[in-house]
Amino acid sequence: MTCIRRLVAATLLFGMASGCASLHERHIRHEVERRYCVFPEDDVSGQLTIRRLEEVSAMGEPGRRALLSLARTPKTEGCGIYFLAMLGDARVTALLRQILVATGSSAERRSSAIAHLGGFHDTTSLDVVAPWCDSSDRMLSDACLQYLGLIDDVRARHQLMLLLEKPGHASVASVIDAIGRQRDVSAVPRLIAMSGTAPEGLQRRIAVALAEIGSSDAVNASERLVRAATGISRHNVITEIVSKLTAQLENPAADMTRIRADIDRFEKLRQP
C-alpha cells in the first residue's frame, strides 16, 4: 500500500512539474511573439531587428523552442522562421522544405523558404528548387537563382551554365550573379564572350562576377570592363567588387593574399 501511495504521489508531482514547465514555455512563446513579431517600417537601418536578434539569442534553448512553435503557426510563421534562420538553427530547415512541397504555398512563401535554405547551404532541396529557376514569377526565379549560387554542388553549377546559355532568360543578370558567388572558373570563357556584346548594365554584372571568381584571366577581364566604364558607373562597380571580395575574406579557407591584392588592384582603378 505504501508503495502505491508513493507512486501516486510521484505521478502527481511529475504532472505538476510538467504543467508548470508547459505554462512557462507558453509564457515565453507569448512574450517572444509580443516583443519580436512586429517589424516596424521605420527600422530602415535594421538596428532594432539586430537588437531583437541578440535578445532572443540570449534566451537560449527556451527562446528557440518558442520560435519553433511560432514557425509552426500560420499567423506567426514568418516571424519564427526569420529569427531561427538568422540564428542559424538548422531545425527550421524541415519546416522550410514542407513549405516548398505544400500544395497551398504561395510564390512569396516558397521564395522566402528557398532563400533561407540557400543560407543554410541545403543541397537536399536542389531537385525540388531547380525547376523554379524558369518560373514566370520573377520573385520565385530570383530566389531559386540565389539558392543555386549559395550551395556547393556541381549540379547547381551545371544548372546555372544551362541557364546562362538559354536565350532571352528573364533573369540573366541574376544567373551571372549566382555564377560569381559560385566562383565557377569553367564559366569564365562564356562570361568574357558575353561581355563583348552585353549592354552596359549587364557588363557591370559580368565584371563583378569575374572579379569574384578570381582566376587570373577572370580578374584581367574584369579590370578591362572596369576601365571601360567612366564616372559614377566606374565608381559603383569598383565599390561592389571591393565589397564582394572583402566578404570573401571572412572565409578562413580563402586565399587572403590574392584577395587583398585584387582589392588593392581594383581600388587603384578609382584614380583617373
Q: Which amino acid does the sequence have at 28?
A: I
From the list 69, 3, 77, the residue with the least C-alpha distance to 37 is: 77
DSSP notation for 167-222: TT-TTHHHHHHHHHHHT-GGGHHHHHHHHTT--HHHHHHHHHHHHHH--HHHHHHH
H or E stretch at 38: none
Q: Alpha-carbon distance 66 to 155, whole Å?
A: 36
pLDDT at residue number 11: 46
CB atoms within 10 A of CB 232: 8
pLDDT at residue number 262: 96
Q: 4-39 burial string, b = 16+ CB within 10 Å, else e? A: eeeeeeeeeeeeeeeeeeeeeeeebbeebbeebbee
pLDDT at residue number 16: 42
Helices (H), 37-76: 47-58, 60-71
Q: Which DSSP symbol is given to 125?
A: T
pLDDT at residue number 21: 43
One pLDDT digit (tens) per residue for the chain, 272 residues: 455 554 444 444 444 444 444 555 677 777 777 777 776 555 555 677 778 888 888 888 888 888 888 888 888 888 889 888 988 999 999 999 999 999 888 999 999 999 999 999 999 999 999 999 888 889 999 999 999 999 999 999 999 999 998 876 668 899 999 999 999 999 999 999 999 888 888 999 999 999 999 999 999 999 999 999 988 999 999 999 999 999 999 999 999 999 999 999 999 998 76
Q: Alpha-carbon distance 159 to 139, whole Å?
A: 18
Q: Alpha-carbon distance 128 to 146, whole Å?
A: 15
- Give backbone dihedrals phi and psi of 253, rounded to 5 degrees, phi first: -90, 0
Q: Alpha-carbon distance 156 to 153, whole Å?
A: 5
pLDDT at residue number 112: 92
> Model pTM?
0.79
pLDDT at residue number 246: 96
For residues 137, 140, 144, 146, the Cα torsion angle rounded to the nearest 10 degrees is 110
